Amino acid sequence: MQGFKALLLTSIAITGAIVAGCNDPSGSRIAQGCRVPDGLEPVAFVSAQRRLHGVLDVPNGPGPHPVVLLLHDSGQTDITRGKGDFAEIRAALRGAGVASFVWDQPGSGCSGGRYRGIVDLYVRGDDVLAAVETLRRDPRLDSERVGAWALGEGVWPATMAAARGALDFLVLVGGPESDPIERIRYAAERHLVDSGYALDEARHAASALADALAMMRDQAPYREYRAALDALSRYPLLPSMSELARDVHATERRYAELRDSAVLHVSVDVFLSALEIPVLAIWGGADGETDWRGASAAYRKAFERAANEAATIRIFDGADHALCVTRDEGECVLAEGYLETAISWLASHGFAGGRERQTKAAPAAQRGAAGAAR
């Protein structure tokens, strides 16, 4: 474990050196090509040889302020134009004296690189580490109160980074039950039921899809995977234009990316079982993308294995995967009490405004320093 921590700290140090050594200022690309909304500050960092750009929202008043990294679900973003900017969450955090940082997915918005979807789950974990290291150099921010608020697919990299000692708290929304195969299986089952198939038939087809994806995970040749998938061709397994559908009906090149990335092995409960930090896990009772019953049960077991007494689970009836209760012309109307619950939870643990930390876990910054000393 000590060797692992030392390796982690070394990788963080290298990342910091890369960021510090870039020739152009951290906000140059945003300043040149994107208009940052009033009241926000451009911040950029480098991870996996990609320059990722985002915006920092710092409250008024004396600091140092706690800071929350906001992690997207799957899909491309354009935060300076309002797509994926987490405006309501940022406003709630700002009002509680908490800073926030959100950045564009690679290859979208103002960020460089290429958007590769779920293939980059492990890389997204590294992105979080690089972002944390960048933020900890800002004297206005409290380096001992750095956490993440993650949605859907973003829960995997958030928990990865936390398990590697980089974060002090987590807010997880619509988190997956286990691995990407189970997430896709459940999404297929729900889509088939919504398309008019009987539940038993939908479950049978979705389970067969999961078996095919397990072949991909286990390094089966593309032709064998295609044969297993072709047997399900009569079913509209997933919405035709969705990111999940593109991965299920992968080209041979995409199949190789998915298979070789090993992301189908990633199970969130493994990381949760290693956490001693405060965690708030939230699901909507009408979530059509994640089985919230199965997920919440899995999270409870993981928290028990970790003896994590600072973990809390909340369900909001009638809310969907993103905690929306309605979609008004495409705009999400968040569930009543969702933001208030999360802010109250942060405050109770000392992660809001000028309050002191109320957790037994040592600050991530101190844990990293201790590991380096050893």
Non-local CB neighbours of 328 within 8 Å, separated by 6+ positions? none
Local confidence band at 81 (pLDDT 50, 70, 90 cut-offs):
confident
Q: What is the pLDDT of residues 15-56, one digit of tens each?
A: 333 333 333 433 444 445 678 888 999 999 999 999 999 999
The secondary structure of residue 83, as a DSSP letter, is B
Average pLDDT, the chain: 88
Local confidence band at 241 (pLDDT 50, 70, 90 cut-offs):
confident
Instruction: Please provide the distance, in angstroms rounded to a whole number, between the alpha carbons at the two ends of the chain.
Output: 11
Please report the pLDDT score of residue 305 as a whole number: 96
Q: How far apart are CA 116 and CA 9, in angstroms?
A: 26
Q: What is the mean pLDDT of residues 256-266?
A: 95
Q: Which long-range contacts (CB under 8 A, 24 or more apart) does 223-226 make?
A: 225/255
Q: Decide: helix, strand or coil at residue 98.
A: coil
Q: What is the pLDDT of residues 119-166, one digit of tens each?
A: 999 999 999 999 999 999 999 999 999 999 999 999 999 999 999 999
Cα 174–178–184 angle (5° rounding)? 75
Q: How far apart are CA 306 and CA 78, in angstroms?
A: 37
In the chain, what are the domain boundaries? 2-176+270-373, 180-264
pTM (two decimals): 0.87
Residue 71, CA distances (Å) to 13, 46, 86, 151, 198 in order:
22, 16, 9, 6, 35
Tell me which H or E stretch contains 173. strand 169-173
Please report the pLDDT score of residue 358 as a whole number: 58
Is residue 118 within 8 Å of 101, Cβ to Cβ? no
Is residue 345 within 8 Å of 280, Cβ to Cβ? yes
Is 90 exceeded by the pLDDT of residue 284? yes
Q: Decide: helix, strand or coil at residue 227.
A: helix
Q: Which CATH superfamily is domain 2-176+270-373 in?
A: Alpha/Beta hydrolase fold, catalytic domain (3.40.50.1820)
Q: How far apart are CA 341 and CA 309, in angstroms?
A: 18
